Structure formats: C-alpha cells, structure tokens
Amino acid sequence: ISENSSNFGRHMLSKNASISKKPALGSILGQIGKKQKLSTLEKSKLDWNNFKSKEGIEDELKYHNKDGYLERQSFLNSVNEKQFEIERSLRLGSKRK
C-alpha cells in the first residue's frame, strides 16, 4: 500500500506541476493576443460617431447645436454680470448723494 500511495503521490505532484505551468504560459499568451476591451462610454462614442458619419448628419448637428447649452450658459452669465454691474453702480451712486 505504501508503494502504491507513494507512486500516487509522485503522479499527483508531477500532474500538479504540469498543470500550474500551463495556466501561467496560457495567460501570458492570452494577454498578447487579446484585444483591449472598450468601456461602455468609449463604445457608445464610437457608435455615435459611426452613426453620424453613416447618416451624413454631422454638419446638420453642428449647425443646430451652434447655440448649445454651454453657449447659452455663457450668455446668461454675461447678462447676470452686466445686470450686477448696473445694480452696483446704482447702489454706489445712491450712497454718494
């Protein structure tokens, strides 16, 4: 029994040693040939750009988005600053009198 068990032990050690080498080599080879995964945001951006060029709507979107959100916010901020300056000059003018 001891001879059989020692043979079994050697067989298992050699089997485990060969198994542990294969995944390491396989993982290295797998990393070399693997494509880089895209995030959902990157994939959506690529899909949107492909759709715009396929449908030919890039120029139309640029034209209609000319006065987009950021431009409107910039305009509103400049109007608020102008209004503040007017009110400030009125306050300072009334204090001087």
Predicted confidence band at 94 (pLDDT cuts at 50, 70, 90)? confident
Residue 10 has pLDDT above 60, yes or no: no
Question: What local confidence, expressed as pLDDT, does residue 68 receive?
Answer: 75
pTM (whole model) above 0.75: no
Distance of CA 17 to the CA centre of its chain: 41
DSSP string, the chain: -HHHHHHHHHHHHHHHHHHHHHHHHHHHHHHHHPPPPPPHHHHHHHHHHHHHHHHT-HHHHHHHTTT-HHHHHHHHHHHHHHHHHHHHHHHHHHHH-
Indicate the residue type of 82: K
pLDDT tens for each residue of 17-74: 445 555 676 677 666 767 778 899 999 999 999 999 999 998 888 877 766 788 888 8
Question: What local confidence, expressed as pLDDT, does residue 79 receive?
Answer: 97
